Structure 1
Amino acid sequence: MDILEILRQDYAKFPLDQNYDIYAEDVYFQDPTSKFRGLNRYRKTIAFIQKWFKNPHLELLEIQRIDRLITTRWSLSWNTPLPWEPRIAITGRSELLVNDLELITSHIDYWDRSVLDVVKQHFRG
């Protein structure tokens, strides 16, 4: 199966039943709140989202590939497990680099809003 089709499927069922076979063992991940290297840590990050975020929904808006670069545009929303369960929403894009073995070696997320703006969504009235 084509890597773009696998990514489409993973976005559709995120964070459940992700296909980690498309990632290199030493994959680099970065977003506005963290950066790390390693598939094990990447799995733990997805497991954290699955366990602690309520009703997560990741919508793939666009995906394309040019040579070794895959770019996506997406929208992510969830309810934070606070007593008032605020619905949080982030739009952004991802850049994924693919090696000769068709494995993702780098996954960098860019958010359309600042981390502070995301935090503020928890307390808007």
Structure 2
Amino acid sequence: MDILDQIRLDYQHFPKDQSYHLYAENVYFKDPLNEFRGVTRYRSMIGLIDRLFRQVNLDLHGIEYATPTQINTHWTLSWVAPVPWQPRMSIPGHSELALGEDGKVISHIDYWHCSRLAVLGQLFGKK
């Protein structure tokens, strides 16, 4: 199975059963809320999503090689927020995954196609 197929499967199962072996030990991760290095911290962040949110779904809209060493994905992440009124929330976005010489992901940068404020507004019924 090649890396694109494995990433497709990871999106289908997210946040469960992720292929952390695809990531370099010192992988760089960045999104609008986080910035860090290390596959251990990446695994912890995914674990927090799994424990905190319900009905998490990561819909993959597209995946392709932008260059021989960069994979781009286009997605929508959605979940039910852990508050009493249980709003369904979502973030559309895309990711850029840079591959090292060994074929492992050395950088994973997520871009949201909405603001952090817009995401927060979903808690109160504002789309």
**TM-score, length-scaled by structure 2:** 0.96
Q: In the TM superposition, what are the counterparts of 1:27-106 in structure 2 within 5 Å?
A: 27-65=27-65, 66-106=67-107
Give CA deviations for 1:64-120 in whole Å, capped at 9, x if unaligned. Answer: 012101000001100011000110011000000001111000000000000000000
Please tell me the residue identity of whatever aligns with 1:69.
Answer: Q
Q: Secondary structure at the match of 1:11?
A: helix
Query: What residue number does 1:124 align with?
Result: 125
User: Whole-Å Cα distance in 1 between the matches of residues 76 and 110 of structure 2?
Assistant: 12
Give CA deviations for 1:33-53 in whole Å, capped at 9, x if unaligned. Answer: 110000100000000000001
| C-alpha displacement of 1:121 | 0.4
Percent of matched pairs sharing the same residue: 47
Q: Secondary structure at the match of 1:18?
A: coil
Give CA deviations for 1:11-65 in whole Å, capped at 9, x if unaligned. Answer: 0000001010100000000000110000100000000000001100001000001
RMSD: 0.8
| C-alpha displacement of 1:8 | 0.4
User: Whole-Å Cα distance in 2 between the matches of residues 37 and 99 of structure 1?
Assistant: 15
Aligned residues: 125
Instruction: Give unpaired runs (5+ residues) of structure 2.
Output: none
User: Whole-Å Cα distance in 2 between the matches of residues 81 and 54 of structure 1?
Assistant: 7
**TM-score, length-scaled by structure 1:** 0.98
Query: What residue number does 1:16 align with?
Result: 16
User: Whole-Å Cα distance in 2 between the matches of residues 86 and 31 of structure 1?
Assistant: 22
Instruction: Give unpaired runs (5+ residues) of structure 1.
Output: none
Q: Secondary structure at the match of 1:64?
A: strand
